[in-house]
Amino acid sequence: MLNYFKAFSVFLIWACIALTSHYFITSRLFNKKIAKSTKKVTTIYAITNYKNDTLFSFDKAFKIQKNNSDILNLKDFTLLFDSIKSYLKNHYDNQLIITGFYTKKEIATATHNNIGLLRAKNIKSYFQNAKINNYQLKILSEVKNNLFKNNTNTSGINLKIETISSKILDSIEKTMSNKRLYVDFNNNQLIENKSITNYVNLLKQYLKKHPHKTIYITGHTDNNGYYQNNLIIGLNRANLVKNYFNLNGIDNSKIVTLSKGESEPIADKNTLEGKAKNRRIEIEIN
Task: Give yes or no for a contact between 211 and 220, defined as CB atoms under 8 angstroms apart.
Answer: no
Please report whether residue 33 resides in a domain: no
Q: Of the candidates 129, 164, 199, which is a domain's last residue? A: 164
User: 208 and 120 in one domain?
Assistant: no
Entry pTM: 0.71
Three-state DSSP state, 178: strand
Counted domains in the chain: 2
Please report whether residue 155 resides in a domain: yes
User: 156 and 189 in one domain?
Assistant: no
User: 176 and 102 in one domain?
Assistant: no
User: 279 and 192 in one domain?
Assistant: yes
Give the whole-angstrom CA distance, residue 277 versus residue 265: 8
Comparison of pLDDT for 1 and 92, the residue scoring more: 92
Please report whether residue 25 resides in a domain: no
Please report whether residue 1 resides in a domain: no
User: 182 and 100 in one domain?
Assistant: no
pLDDT digits (tens, 9 = 90+) for 114-153: 899 999 999 999 999 988 989 999 999 999 888 887 777 7
Give the whole-angstrom CA distance, residue 200 versus residue 242: 11
Q: Of the candidates 119, 146, 164, which is a domain's last residue? A: 164
User: 197 and 158 in one domain?
Assistant: no
Q: Is 60 exceeded by the pLDDT of residue 172?
A: yes
Q: Which domain holds residue 212?
A: 170-285
CATH code of the domain covering residue 261: 3.30.1330.60
User: 261 and 179 in one domain?
Assistant: yes
pLDDT (0 to 100) of residue 50: 67
Give the whole-angstrom CA distance, residue 112 versus residue 118: 8
Please report whether residue 71 resides in a domain: yes
| AA identity, residue 240 | L
User: 155 and 265 in one domain?
Assistant: no
pLDDT (0 to 100) of residue 13: 57
User: 278 and 178 in one domain?
Assistant: yes
Q: Of the candidates 101, 136, 164, which is a domain's last residue? A: 164
Give the whole-angstrom CA distance, residue 152 versus residue 65: 5
User: 70 and 153 in one domain?
Assistant: yes
Please report whether residue 176 resides in a domain: yes
Comparison of pLDDT for 203 and 61, the residue scoring more: 203
pLDDT (0 to 100) of residue 216: 98
